[in-house]
Amino acid sequence: MEIAILNDNACARFGADLVEDLLQRKPTAVLGLATGASPLGVYRELGRRVAKGTVNLSGITAFTLDEYLGLPADHPERYRNVILREFANLVGVSAENIHTPDDSATDLDAACEQYERDIARAGGIDLQILGIGTDGHIAFNGPGSSLGSRTRLKALSKQTRIDNARYFDDALDKVPTHCITQGLATILDARHIVLLAEGVRKARAVVQLVDGPVSARWPASILQMHPRVTVILDQSAAQYLRDTDYYQRAFASRAERAAQF
């Protein structure tokens, strides 16, 4: 794992740099997108770069991680609507190039299998952007999720529903109870995973992700098994990590290397 501990704005800039580097090599890259607050800075930074003409995302295809079940098609918090509003509209990607799990399917299990096939047919995900829940979830794989899981229906954990009530007028009963989510094994198939976490609320989950044992109790810890993960943290989210000096030095030498070549 590469751990980058940066100041607030630098987190979003570094995340956007990783996407930009990929697009220079592969303008038709397949991106995996998280919703929620964590990636918004990266999406907005990419939007600014698109507006300046320094990066072009028009050739990409994207797949989101998850979708609530039971929200009306035009609900502002339905993740398809969120990602069109917060990402696609900002960076100039057309709606047909944004794939989201089909929450309207009559056969939801079949829709989950189809989503896996769609990702595979697109060539797999080149760069997956992730956030992390306070209980260590990634996508909607809460504690106890199978480490080998693939896209499927899930009941949302109580903690996730409490955390997400802020998007539903702080009313827990308005937060959906179920979702479709990529599984942990689906996420691990991505070629590069970039996880962003900011703030003290995430610090406990972050230390389990980086230093904890690999365990379904803290699902993000499965990322320790992936060969290419970049974790971008602010100081608050990183505060319980051991070895932060090492991470800082390793990250600084990365920048020096980049300057040399």
Listed residue (164, 167, 163, 159) closest to 142, CA to CA:
159
> Phi and psi (nearest 5°) for 222?
-65, -20
Q: Cα(221)–Cα(170) distance, rounded to whole angstroms?
A: 29
179 binds ligand F6R (CB under 6 A): no
Provide the strand spans (E) within the chain.
2-5, 30-33, 61-64, 66-68, 98-99, 127-130, 152-155, 178-181, 192-197, 229-233
Q: For ligand F6R, give the closer residue by CB, 22 or 130.
A: 130
Q: Do the beta carbons of residue 187 and residue 138 sit within 8 Å?
A: yes
What is the footprint of ligand F6R within residues 136-175 (CB under 6 A)? 137-140
Question: Closest-CB residue for ligand F6R?
Answer: 131
String marking each residue 45-84 x if it binds ligand F6R according to CB under 6 A? --------------------xx------------------
Q: Render 154-205 in DSSP notation, one character per residue.
A: EEPPHHHHHHHGGGTTT-GGGS-SEEEE--HHHHHTSSEEEEEE-SGGGHHH
In the complex, minimum distance from the CB of residue 140 to ligand F6R, in angstroms, rounded to a whole number: 6
String marking each residue 207-246 x if it binds ligand F6R according to CB under 6 A? ----------------------------------------
Q: 10 Å Cβ neighbour count for 110?
A: 11
Per rule CB under 6 A, count of chain residues that contact ligand F6R: 14
100 binds ligand F6R (CB under 6 A): no
In the complex, minimum distance from the CB of residue 99 to ligand F6R, in angstroms, rounded to a whole number: 14
| Candidate segments 36-44, 150-158, 239-247, 253-261, binder of ligand F6R by CB under 6 A | 36-44
Q: 10 Å Cβ neighbour count for 217?
A: 14
In the complex, minimum distance from the CB of residue 224 to ligand F6R, in angstroms, rounded to a whole number: 18
Joined together, the tokens standing for residue 200 give: 């003290």
In the complex, minimum distance from the CB of residue 129 to ligand F6R, in angstroms, rounded to a whole number: 9
131 binds ligand F6R (CB under 6 A): yes
34 binds ligand F6R (CB under 6 A): yes
Q: For ligand F6R, give the closer residue by CB, 158 or 242.
A: 158
What is the footprint of ligand F6R within residues 106-125 (CB under 6 A)? none
Residue 29 CB contacts under 8 Å (≥ 6 apart), including other chains: 22, 23, 59, 60, 61, 126, 127
In the complex, minimum distance from the CB of residue 185 to ligand F6R, in angstroms, rounded to a whole number: 15
Separate counts of helices (H) and strands (E) for the chain: 9, 10
Among 15, 32, 36, 101, binds ligand F6R (CB under 6 A): 36
Q: Under the rule (CB under 6 A), what is the footprint of ligand F6R?
A: 34-38, 65-66, 131-133, 137-140
